[in-house]
Amino acid sequence: MRLLILTQKIDINDDVLGFMHGWVKEFSHQFAGVIVICLEKGAAELPSNVKVLSLGKETGRSKIKYLINFYKHIWRERKNYDAVFVHMNHEYVILGGLIWKALGKKIGLWYAHGYVPPTLKISAKLADYIFSSTKSGFRLESQKLNVVGQGIDLEKFSVDGGKNKKLEQRDQLAETSAAKSESNQLAILTIGRIAPSKDYLTLIKAAGILNESKIKFNIQVVGGTSFSRHENYFNEIKRKVKELGLPNMINFIGAIPYKDIFYYLNKSDLFVNMSHTGSLDKAILEAMASKLPIITCNEAVIEVLGNYKGKLMFKKGDYRALAERILFIRNLPQGELDKIGQDLRQLVIKNHSLGGLITKILAIYGKEN
């Protein structure tokens, strides 16, 4: 089977969307051929059976140009794909749905977010299959929904495997990353764009409690602002850090290439996530795959953690509860911490591996083909 994928960006160096490069690569291993139509194209290292076509954002912003290129690509390539997979940008299903149906192409929509825009209902009606990482990631009632887990590269996010890769680069990055070393600091990591929905203020306030308790810790914040409107929120965060006397304990790393995320995970003791999006954040699963204990308030993770949800979750916005959970993890014996890390990785292996995800998607397309 040959697949057409529509996604926002293909760029191995992108800080947020770089993971899609790995997804496309895995699709190419399980499908005979893959065509990718993306809004923007950057650096890519993909197999020979993958063709990447851009709508042209990298050469300038023009919605008319994007639309013309969209229809040109899906029509010119119509004989080179058998099915369609739209990743997150559900509007493409509306734009191309009737054409694809007329051509006999099965349409799959991946959507994993707590937000339900009105246009999603139209996309859901046009799609033949709907895929999501968890049930809470698609909040419309639909018999088309297939909960298939998230796609985590288990080789990339593996403590043992990763240590044998790019050692020089890892060591360079480690210079800016906190580590549990002679100072016995607790190395805390959080990853995500700087935005109100990520609720960094709750983490800063929790850090204030840790500081008052004379706990040695260092927090690495990996991620930047994606929109200018979030700069004011970032300034508010930095003001709070200064107000609580935490500048030496909280380090804003900024955006880094997705391919380098592993090295920060590998030098940390604990991963925290304060997200209010209601969807399963892949950064949480990447931390779990790296055998890191996690603490989160994201309700989508309830479906993932099993018996650990009581120990590793806190109520949204409750900075005191977050501080309490951090202290709980800090005070656990090393043997118990190791067991938590191993158990969390096994949960990812069982339900959220990249290879397993693509296999499930292929099987669903293949039912009627």
- Specify the pLDDT at position 177: 42
Which residues have C-beta within 8 Å of that of residue 92, sequence separation ≥ 6? Answer: 6, 70, 86
Which residues have C-beta within 8 Å of that of residue 74, sequence separation ≥ 6? Answer: 4, 37, 96, 99, 100
Q: Which CATH number fits domain 159-351: 3.65.10.10, 3.30.420.10, 3.40.50.2000, 1.20.120.530?
A: 3.40.50.2000
- The CATH superfamily holding the domain 2-151+353-366 is Glycogen Phosphorylase B; (3.40.50.2000)
- Specify the pLDDT at position 277: 83
Q: Are β-strands 2-10 and 270-273 bridged in parallel, bridged antiparallel, or unpaired?
A: unpaired
Convert 304-334 to b/e letters by CB count within 10 Å (16 or more is b).
Answer: bbeebeeebbbebebbebbbebbeebbeeee
Summarised one tens digit per residue, pLDDT across range 253-297 is 999 999 999 999 999 999 999 998 888 899 999 999 999 999 999
CB of 124 closer than 8 Å to CB of 157: no
- Specify the pLDDT at position 303: 87
Rounded (10°) angle between helices 118-126 and 91-102: 20
SS (H, E, C) 21-66: HHHHHHHHHHCCEEEEEEEEECCCCCCCCEEEEECCHHHCCCHHHH
The reply to whether 159-351 shares the fold of 2-151+353-366 is: yes
If we measure between CA atoms, which residue out of 27, 11, 16 comes closest to residue 254? Answer: 16
Which residues have C-beta within 8 Å of that of residue 58, sequence separation ≥ 6? Answer: 40, 41, 42
C-alpha–C-alpha distance, residues 277 and 299, integer Å: 9
3-class secondary structure, 175: coil
- Amino acid at position 333, single letter: P
CB atoms within 10 A of CB 212: 11
Summarised one tens digit per residue, pLDDT across range 210-235 is 999 999 999 999 999 988 889 999 99
- Residue-wise DSSP of 270-323: EEEE---S-S--HHHHHHHHTT--EEE--GGGHHHHGGGHHHHB--TT-HHHHH
**Weakly modelled stretches of the chain, pLDDT under 50:** 161-182
C-alpha–C-alpha distance, residues 349 and 289, integer Å: 8
**Domain coordinates in residue numbering, the chain:** 2-151+353-366, 159-351
Which contacts qualify for 236-244: CB closer than 8 Å, 24 or more apart? 236/201, 237/194, 237/200, 237/201, 237/204, 240/201, 240/204, 240/205, 241/204, 244/204, 244/205, 244/207, 244/208, 244/211
C-alpha–C-alpha distance, residues 26 and 359, integer Å: 9
